[in-house]
Amino acid sequence: SQVAGDDFKYFDCAGVMPRGNFENLHVTSKHYDCSLVKKLNASAHYSLAIHGCTGEENDRVTFIGGQDEMGQLLMRKHLEAAGFKVKDAPSHLSGLGNENVVNQNQRGMGIQLEISKAQRQAFTARPVISILTRKKSSKTFERYCAALRAALSELSAEPLSTLAD
């Protein structure tokens, strides 16, 4: 919600269990079948999906993918300017498939971010991520969200004809 604010629509699918979260709750983007997300995407020109991934231990990185290359460039530019490490997503996190929910907006292309565990841990005021500490975000998290908002604002301000050229 901090990225969306009052300017953008958002949908949050978050589940937390005491253990076994990935094994019991993980759904891939291409298998995510939610009528509300489909409805939101059907009316959207731009889509951003934010996921978590394991990543290498202590490697604070955001992997970027999806079919929206212009959007990826803007996200990368803003995140890197804010001091965050960004890499191209490996193939298993690429978000390139047409069946991926992020690519099912009016333009048929979206942006997918995969944020490493180490980077997500840096977003909390405490070193361990839990349902209790998620609400206590750090300045790092605020800076990250501001970078994403700036990229989305810049992207959505561009005329569609310019983006299609």
pLDDT digits (tens, 9 = 90+) for 108-125: 999 999 999 999 999 886
Helices (H) and strands (E) in the chain, counts: 6, 4
According to DSSP, the β-strands at 86-88 and 62-65 are parallel
- Measured CA to CA, the distance from residue 102 to residue 13 in angstroms comes to 14
pLDDT digits (tens, 9 = 90+) for 129-153: 454 445 567 889 999 999 999 999 9
Helices (H), the chain: 21-25, 35-42, 69-81, 117-122, 139-157, 160-164
- Measured CA to CA, the distance from residue 110 to residue 25 in angstroms comes to 23
> Global pTM?
0.81
